[in-house]
Amino acid sequence: MSDFLQMGLTGLSLGLMYALIAIGLTLIFGVMRVIQYAHGEMFMLGAFTLYFWHAELGLPYWLGVAVSAGLIFCLGAVLQVVLFRPLQGKNILYSLAVSLGLVLIISGSGQLLFGTTTKGIPSAVSGGVLISGAYLSYERIVISIVSIGLIVSLWAFLRHSVTGFAIRAVAEDPETAALQGIRTDRIHWIAFGLGSSMAAIAGCMMGTLLSIVPTMGFLATIKAFMIVIMGGLGSVVGALVGGLILGMIDSVVTTTISGDIAIILSFVVIFLILVFRPSGLFGQNWD
């Protein structure tokens, strides 16, 4: 029983973190209809920003998370304006190619600048608690709370703030939104920056839990895409549900059988979901 509780708790915290990465991606896709393949690189850069801030310079942890999120927000906004704006309205393959180029550049220069050795960020909180036989570290609790908080506040931002309304309007129909006086260009870079900084915060959280390397972005990209596709592109709820499904598969199958099977199984699950629901679990019918 305690085994299952342990797996469930691990899966839940893992799933929430995956969902945090994936929601940024789904926001970017939903608003701009571009494939941001370098999303995992934002995750990696976020983690490294915190590493330099907290582990090298010894500055406070939570401020570092904010700084990292802010920096990556700016980076995302600049990338959108410089690289992705010219591709607006073109075939989605072009944005895929450009972001693939970005992946190569960022992970290549990451290996060059940061070295290929694994690094770790010291945790902000230590200790843990036993819940009926299952061990849960305070770190994971904090990470889960931060993830939930961010997801809820993003949802509230999209629902209730003026900018959030504008973002949703642009996602729905850019031309009509522009006719209503919404500056779509500005919304585009805001959404891109927001999505990227979500990934950066996830990177900060993950960085304390696991070790960080410049090549870790690719795995995050894979996970994010798996989740987003499973949940339906552009759907925040879908990303949350997809993240939890993937986190559970990862946790349960890795502990009971093996990590290889977990990956095979999660791809099979995605394939089956797409076969029976070709637009993902919560996706609108999109061409």
Partner 1 sequence: MDISERPSHIAWGILLIVALAAPVLVNFDLYLIHVGITIAFNVALATSLWMIWTLGVISFAHAGFMGIGAYASALVLHKLGLSMWYGIWVGAAISGLIAMAIAVPLMRTRAVYFFMASWAVGEVIKRNFAFFKDFFGGWDGIFDIKQPVLDLGFLRIDFADRVAYYYLALFFAALTIWIIHRMNASRTGMIWWAIHENELLAEHTGINIFRQKVVCFTIACTLVGMTGALYAHYQTYISPKSFDIWKSEFALVHLIVGGLTSVAGPVSGAITLTVIDELLRATGYFRTIFFGVVLIASVLLLPGGLETVPGRVRKLVSRIRQK
Specify which residues 135 forms β-bridges with: 130
Question: Cα(253)–Cα(241) distance, rounded to whole angstroms?
Answer: 18
> Judged by CB, which is closer to partner 1: 53, or 225?
225
CB 27 within 8 A of CB 199: no
- Spell 69-91 as b/e; 16+ CB within 10 A means b: bebbbebbbebbeebbeebeeee
Min. distance of Cβ 98 from partner 1 in angstroms?
A: 5
Of 251, 246, 241, nearest to 6 (Cα)? 251
Exposed/middle/buried for residue 160 (C-beta within 10 Å: 0-12, 13-18, 19+):
exposed
Query: Which residues bind to partner 1, rule: CB under 8 A?
Result: 29, 35, 83, 86-87, 90, 92-94, 96-98, 100-105, 107-109, 111-112, 225-226, 229, 233, 260-261, 263-264, 267-268, 270-271, 274-275, 278-280, 283, 286-287
Q: Which is nearer to partner 1, 62 or 267 (CB)?
A: 267
Alpha-carbon gap, residue 141 to 2, rounded angstroms: 18
Element (H, E) at 196: helix 184-209
Q: In the bound complex, what is the minimum distance in angstroms from residue 59's beta carbon to partner 1? A: 29
Q: Which is nearer to partner 1, 58 or 276 (CB)?
A: 276
Minimum Å gap between C-beta 274 and partner 1 is 4
Nearer to partner 1, 42 or 98 (CB): 98
Q: What share of residues in the chain are helix, strand, coil (percent, to 5)? A: 75, 5, 20
CB of 180 to partner 1, least distance (A): 27
Nearer to partner 1, 92 or 131 (CB): 92
Q: C-beta of 203: minimal distance to partner 1 in Å?
A: 20
Residue 29 or 73 having the CB closest to partner 1: 29
Q: Which of 29, 53 has the CB closer to partner 1?
A: 29
Minimal distance in Å, beta carbon 164 to partner 1?
A: 24
Which has the closest alpha carbon to 246: 46, 71, 20, 67?
A: 20
> What angle, rounded to 10 degrees, do the helices at 216-231 and 259-276 form?
30
Distance CA 43, CA 76 (A): 11
φ/ψ of residue 33, rounded to 5: 55, 40
* Nearest approach, Cβ of residue 135 and partner 1 (Å): 30
